[in-house]
Amino acid sequence: MSITLRELAAELQVQYSSVRRHVKTRNVFHFKSPQEQGWAWAVSDRAAALIRAHYADASTADELRDWLTVGQVAALMGLDRSILYRRRRQGRLNVRTRRAIGPGGSGNLLFHPDDVRRVMSARPVAPPSIPRGAYSVSMLADLLGLCRSTPRQWQRNGCPVAGRTQRGHVYFRLPEVLAWLEARPGRPFASDHERLTLACCIATLRAHLAQQQAA
């Protein structure tokens, strides 16, 4: 047996778009079901039971009036919404959340205000933009004549990052990058091109830092 998403949305008194989004983001198996006029998305009775349980835990917007929306939390923390969602999925945002059924049956994710304040008080205050003298990924790549993927790969390999802006963008200090490159052991199977690129980056950084000190 199955039930269409529109029938399920009407039963739960929520918007169809909310149920459709839940099915897509949670990878719930759904299929096209033939109807009198064309077809409609449907789920099995077992999947429908899980969706009903999801919305059974939701509260009305009035019950969670003091809780914060995604947009409010993102603005308070100085983050893009996509970064906020990613940190929540990765378990890096220790904040209680609830699903609220708003006007028209829309499902809104809300955050506990006390938890948000606790997280904000514990996190270091990040600068709104890249500090003077620091280099973003694109700035470092332009200085060294590299593609932007190379500094990102360096970061993944252990290159020290000086910090992050409020929007989550990393930035580097040139002396730290130079020291890391100079200390890197040569890969046994590195190509001549890779060894030449590394030597050129080290030479460029040394020359640039020497110019800064002389200025």
Ranges in the chain annotated CATH 1.10.1660: 2-56, 135-214
Quick one: pLDDT at residue 186? Answer: 60
Which residues lie closer than 8 Å to 5 by C-beta, 6 or more apart? 16, 19, 20, 23, 30, 40, 41, 42, 43
- Predicted local distance difference test score (pLDDT) of residue 104: 47
Q: What is the pLDDT of residue 172?
A: 92
Check residue 165 and give its pLDDT.
Answer: 76
Write the class of the CATH domain 135-214: mainly alpha
Q: Which of 161, 179, 177, 159 is nearest to 169 (CA)?
A: 161
Residue 143: CB partners within 8 Å, gap ≥ 6? Answer: 135, 204, 208
Q: Give the single-character DSSP code of 188.
A: T
pTM of the model: 0.44
Distance of CA 170 to the CA centre of its chain: 14
Give residue-wise pLDDT tens across range 123-148: 665 556 677 888 989 999 999 999 98
Res 128: pLDDT? 62
Which of 60, 62, 61, 87 is closest to 73 using CA atoms? 87
Nearest to 51 by CA among 24, 77, 86, 76: 24
| Token pair listed for 214 | 């002389």
Residue 179 predicted with pLDDT over 90: yes
The amino acid sitting at 1 is: M
pLDDT-derived band of residue 187, with 50, 70 and 90 as boundaries? low
pLDDT tens profile 44-102:
999 999 888 877 766 655 667 788 888 888 888 777 788 888 888 888 888 888 777 65
Q: Does 189 score more than 60 pLDDT? A: no
Using alpha carbons only, give the angle 28, 32, 34 rounded to the nearest 5 degrees: 145
Q: How much is the average pLDDT of 188-209? A: 85
Closest C-alpha to 172, from 137, 147, 201? 137
Q: In angstroms, rounded to a whole number, what is the distance separating the alpha carbons of residues 91 and 158? A: 22
Q: What are the pLDDT digits (tens) for 1-46?
A: 889 988 988 887 777 887 888 888 778 888 888 887 788 889 999 9
SS3 139: helix
- The yes or no reply on domain 2-56 and CATH 1.10.1660 is yes
